[in-house]
Structure 1
Amino acid sequence: MNLTERYNELYRSSTRKIKNGAYQTDLLIDSVNDRRFGIALLIRPPENINEKIQLFLDELKQVEPSQYYYPNSDIHITVMAIIPCYEGFQLDQVSIPGYIELVQESLKEIERFGIKFKGITASEAGIMIQGFPEYDILNNLRNSLRTNFKNSNLEQSIDKRYTIQTAHSTVVRFRRKLQDKNELLEILERNRNSCFGSFEINELELVFNDWYLREGKSKLLKKFSI
């Protein structure tokens, strides 16, 4: 299944669940007791792309103001969740220089590449911008990270929850009952193929992060240039 087909299948399945009221609300978004943290390698879209995303989010906010909308500071594409977030994980449990070294090793043969943000898709718990990477460079990087970390003695749980295969960016999470799911679905359909722009990837971030990659609860560990 290619990337377009994967996004299409996700959209069909998830919008059907939303229509039938089978969507999921995240009860931990506003919890002060959420202690789920991890380590991830990220791509950050540039501000001009984020601003176009915010215009789309503004439209959604008119219909569903109570949902959780990502601010520009938190919008990202996950390259790899090296340690997917789990309850109680803290930085002092691991040696950060080792993680930095293995990411640098994984990036040695990686060239700059572009990503196009075109169209939206959904999950049963939120809404995502579809990302389409140029060539196969992102997959090559992910495979290199998998190999290098799984051959190391460092704590990692790559692919433990699922094997990441897309380049999407989650921008909305459902945290309340939807007020008007039919109008929401109409907005999604209108924006199904909206273009948010293309950008070149020349920098990656290794971060210690909470479940939602919120700026106030995340810590930059290292920036890598490619």
Structure 2
Amino acid sequence: MNLTEHYNQLYKTSAEAISAGKYSIDSELKNESDSRFGITLLIRPNEEVKANIQAFISELKKIEPEQYFYPDSDIHITIMSIISCSDQFTLNQIAPKEYIEIICRSLVEVEKIKIHFKGITASPSALLIQGFPSDETLNNLRNKLRENFKKSGLQQSMDSRYSIFTAHSTVMRFQEKLHDPKRLIEVAEKFRDYDFGEFDVKNIELVYNDWYQRKETTKVLGDFGLR
């Protein structure tokens, strides 16, 4: 299944579920003792794209103000969840330098990554911006990371939940009962094919993060510039 088909199927299934009131609420969002942390390699969109995303978020806030919305600082695309978030993991279990070395080795042949954010999709508990890489560079990098980390013997849990191949950004999560699920989907429909913009990836970050990538709990372990 290609990315467009994947996003379309995800939207169709989720929009129907949300409209029918069969959505999911993330009860952990307000849990102040949530201790799920992990290690992630990620991309952050540029300022222009983030401004376009916030215009979408502003529309959503008008009808569902009590939900969880991602601030600019937290919007990201996951390249690879190297160690999935868990309450069993803490940073002192690993040597970040060893992870940085493998990432550097995996990036040797990567020259340019370009992402186009166009349209939105949904899950039963969230709304997401659809990301489309311009070529196979991002997936090639993911495969190189898989290969190099598996050879290394370092602690990792890549692809343990699912094998990542998308380039989406989550921007809204449901933390309360929705006021008007059908109205929410009507607003989502307006942005279904909206062009949020395209950007060249200038740098990639390795971070120690919580489940929601909140800036206040994130620690940057490595920053890798692309040519």
| TM-score relative to the length of structure 1 | 0.99
Matched residue count? 226
Question: How much has 1:113 moved relative to structure 2?
Answer: 2.0
Pair 1:3 & 2:16 matched = no
Rounded to whole Å, the distance in 2 between the matches of 1:202 and 1:62 is: 33
TM alignment of 1:111-150, pairs within 5 A? 111-150=111-150
Q: Report the secondary structure of 1:151's partner residue.
A: helix
Q: Report the secondary structure of 2:192's partner residue.
A: coil
Question: How much has 1:30 moved relative to structure 2?
Answer: 1.4
Q: Give me the identity figure in percent.
A: 52
Q: CA RMSD in A?
A: 0.7
Rounded to whole Å, the distance in 1 between the matches of 2:183 and 2:124 is: 16
Q: Deviations over 1:94-149 (max 9, x none)?
A: 11111000000110111112110000000011000000001100000000001111
Question: How much has 1:202 moved relative to structure 2?
Answer: 2.0
- The residue aligned with 2:16 is 16
Pair 1:65 & 2:70 matched = no
- The residue aligned with 2:109 is 109
- The residue aligned with 1:93 is 93
TM alignment of 1:142-181, pairs within 5 A? 142-181=142-181
What amino acid is aligned across from residue 12 of structure 2 in structure 1?
R
TM alignment of 1:22-41, pairs within 5 A? 22-41=22-41
Rounded to whole Å, the distance in 2 between the matches of 1:140 and 1:202 is: 17
Q: Deviations over 1:7-54 (max 9, x none)?
A: 000000111111122211111111111000000000000111111100
Rounded to whole Å, the distance in 1 between the matches of 2:2 and 2:109 is: 24
Rounded to whole Å, the distance in 1 between the matches of 2:150 and 2:46 is: 31
| TM-score relative to the length of structure 2 | 0.98
Query: Gaps spanning 5+ residues in structure 1: where?
Result: none
Rounded to whole Å, the distance in 2 between the matches of 1:104 and 1:92 is: 21
| Higher mean C-alpha displacement, 18-27 vs 215-224 | 18-27
- The residue aligned with 2:78 is 78
Q: Deviations over 1:139-184 (max 9, x none)?
A: 0000000111111121000000011110000000000111011110
Q: Report the secondary structure of 1:28's partner residue.
A: helix
Rounded to whole Å, the distance in 2 between the matches of 1:89 and 1:216 is: 18
What amino acid is aligned across from residue 27 of structure 2 in structure 1?
L
Query: Gaps spanning 5+ residues in structure 2: where?
Result: none
Question: How much has 1:88 moved relative to structure 2?
Answer: 3.3
Rounded to whole Å, the distance in 1 between the matches of 2:214 and 2:126 is: 16
Q: Deviations over 1:74-94 (max 9, x none)?
A: 000000000010113111011
